[in-house]
């Protein structure tokens, strides 16, 4: 049995190393995409905002500095309980491209953010739509870069991880859970070619779409009840044969998702649980993934246990090699996506936190307690 565990850890390390090497090459190629110098296309920047008084101003001001100037910026005030609308109204006086849209009462059967995005989509005029969050800060070529990637790859939807801003190591360890995808899960080059629904990826901080694709999908009504709207939209693209790609966006924008560890844990558990679809096959797949993550999380302790119990080097070496290969793969991805080296070294802690977040989120779903996000209950 000791040899089995050791070989499994070794195999996982090799897999993580090979997948990471392939993904980094592919993502680096995307970064070198030639920028389109100028375009007359109208881009609608769409921002759902609920209680974003402190973040909406810097976000909008960064968007006003875009190299691509033919844009409209629509902000939907989603029943905010703070001064979000007053901040936006003041911004509207400075630039006629900004427009504040009062949100309608939430329709039955819709999630709050998805309904806000639907209203923004209906009010927009551009042939290209950039959905972004109110807590993002964009570099001047954020839109140009996204537009260039869509054109170069003949894609209908683009998303990608921004540079994640975190106040301390604890928050960073939790947020770096997103590295699970490039390290252990998504083969990005194959995903672009074959458009598997399982591997479709998106993050709501940056979703750039052709309007025609969203028209084809009937807007957001088909995912109106989903918890994890971004990934579900990407999966919808694959089902509607609208090509979606996932690209590195850390040079295009940054985002501070969570100010505290508690908010990071609860926010990420909601996303992790929301991504998982129900059904026997999916349940088996998730069970396998959870067991793999637990094995990786405890692999250093398993190797130490083997050493202390007098196991031979033939048994110990595969696990040691697997640990080093996995850790090196995680570090490569962490540095590529601009996480700190110190958080990358604690990869096994992050992996274990993913398991904890999944099980706690599952507990909330099964007990009917649900999640609370931005003052709304999500069952």
Q: What is the pLDDT of residues 152-170, one digit of tens each?
A: 999 999 999 999 999 999 9
Gap between the Cα atoms of 43 and 50, Å rounded: 23
Gap between the Cα atoms of 358 and 228, Å rounded: 14
* CB distance 160 to 138 below 8 Å: no
Burial group, residue 15, by CB count within 10 angstroms (0-12, 13-18, 19+): middle
pLDDT for 1 equals 67
pTM of the model: 0.93
Read off the tokens for 246.
């996932």
Who contacts 321 (Cβ-Cβ below 8 Å, separation ≥6)?
10, 13
Instruction: Label residues 88-103 b or e (16+ Cβ within 10 Å = b).
Output: beebbeeeebbebbeb
Q: What is the largest CA-CA distance in the chain?
A: 74
pLDDT for 2 equals 78
* CB distance 147 to 128 below 8 Å: yes
Instruction: End-to-end CA distance of the chain: give it in Å, rounded.
Output: 42
pLDDT for 4 equals 82
Mean pLDDT score of the chain: 92
List C-alpha distances in Å: 336 to 50, 52, 190.
31, 29, 20
CA-based angle 179:183:188, to the nearest 5?
Answer: 100
Read off the tokens for 251.
């040079």
Percent of the chain whose predicted confidence (pLDDT) is above 90: 76
* Position 27 confidence tier, pLDDT thresholds 50, 70, 90: very high
pLDDT for 278 equals 61
pLDDT for 276 equals 67
Residues 6-23 have a mean pLDDT of: 96
pLDDT for 98 equals 97
Gap between the Cα atoms of 33 and 347, Å rounded: 30
pLDDT for 32 equals 92
User: Taking the domains of the chain in order of start, what are their residue ranges?
Assistant: 2-24+271-378, 35-168+178-258
Q: In the predicted model, is pLDDT for residue 379 greater than 70? A: no
Q: Beta strand pairing status for 98-102 and 376-378?
A: unpaired
Gap between the Cα atoms of 2 and 137, Å rounded: 49
* CB distance 297 to 352 below 8 Å: yes
Q: Which helix H or strand E contains 249, and what residues bound it?
A: none
Gap between the Cα atoms of 145 and 293, Å rounded: 35
- Bridge partner residues of 98 (DSSP): 73
Least confident of 138-147, 192-201, 356-365: 356-365
Q: Which residue has the tokens 């129900």?
A: 278
- Nearest alpha-carbon partner for 147 in 4, 69, 35, 250: 35
How many Cα atoms within 13 Å fall on the side-chain side of residue 252?
A: 27
Who contacts 357 (Cβ-Cβ below 8 Å, separation ≥6)?
174, 177, 265, 268, 269, 272
CATH architecture of the domain covering 35-168+178-258: Alpha-Beta Complex (3.90)
């Amino acid at each position: 049995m000791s040899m089995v565990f050791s070989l499994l850890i070794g195999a996982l390390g090799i897999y993580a190393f090979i997948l990471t090497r392939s993904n980094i090459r592919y993502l680096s190629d995307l970064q070198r995409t030639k920028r389109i110098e100028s375009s007359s296309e109208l881009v609608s920047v769409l921002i759902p905002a609920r209680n974003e008084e402190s973040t909406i101003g810097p976000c909008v001001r960064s968007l006003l500095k875009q190299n691509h100037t033919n844009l409209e910026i629509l902000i939907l005030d989603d029943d905010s309980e703070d001064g979000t609308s007053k901040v936006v109204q003041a911004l509207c006086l400075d630039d006629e491209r900004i427009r504040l849209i009062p949100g309608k009462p939430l329709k039955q059967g819709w999630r709050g953010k998805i309904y806000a995005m639907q209203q923004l989509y209906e009010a927009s005029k551009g042939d290209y739509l950039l959905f972004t969050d109110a807590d993002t800060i964009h570099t001047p070529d954020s839109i140009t870069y996204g537009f260039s990637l869509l054109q170069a790859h003949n894609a209908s939807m683009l998303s990608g991880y921004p540079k994640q801003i975190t106040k301390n190591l604890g928050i960073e360890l939790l947020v770096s859970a997103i590295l699970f995808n490039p390290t252990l899960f998504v083969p990005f080059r194959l995903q672009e070619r074959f458009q598997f629904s399982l591997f479709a990826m998106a993050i709501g901080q940056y979703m750039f779409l052709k309007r025609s694709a969203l028209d084809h999908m009937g807007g957001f009504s088909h995912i109106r009840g989903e918890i994890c709207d971004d990934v579900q939209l990407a999966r919808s693209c694959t089902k509607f044969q609208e090509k979606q790609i996932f690209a590195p966006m850390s040079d295009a924008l940054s985002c501070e998702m969570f100010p505290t560890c508690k908010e990071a844990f609860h926010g990420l558990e909601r996303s992790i649980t929301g991504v998982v679809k129900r059904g026997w096959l999916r349940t088996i797949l998730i069970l396998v993934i959870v067991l793999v993550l637990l094995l990786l999380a405890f692999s250093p302790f398993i190797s130490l246990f083997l050493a202390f119990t007098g196991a031979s080097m033939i048994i110990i070496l595969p696990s040691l090699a697997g640990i080093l290969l996995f850790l090196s793969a995680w570090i490569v991805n962490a540095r590529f996506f601009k996480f700190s080296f110190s958080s990358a070294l604690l990869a096994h802690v992050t992996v274990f936190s993913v398991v904890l977040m999944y099980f706690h989120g599952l507990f909330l779903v099964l007990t009917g307690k649900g999640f609370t996000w931005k003052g709304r209950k999500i069952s």
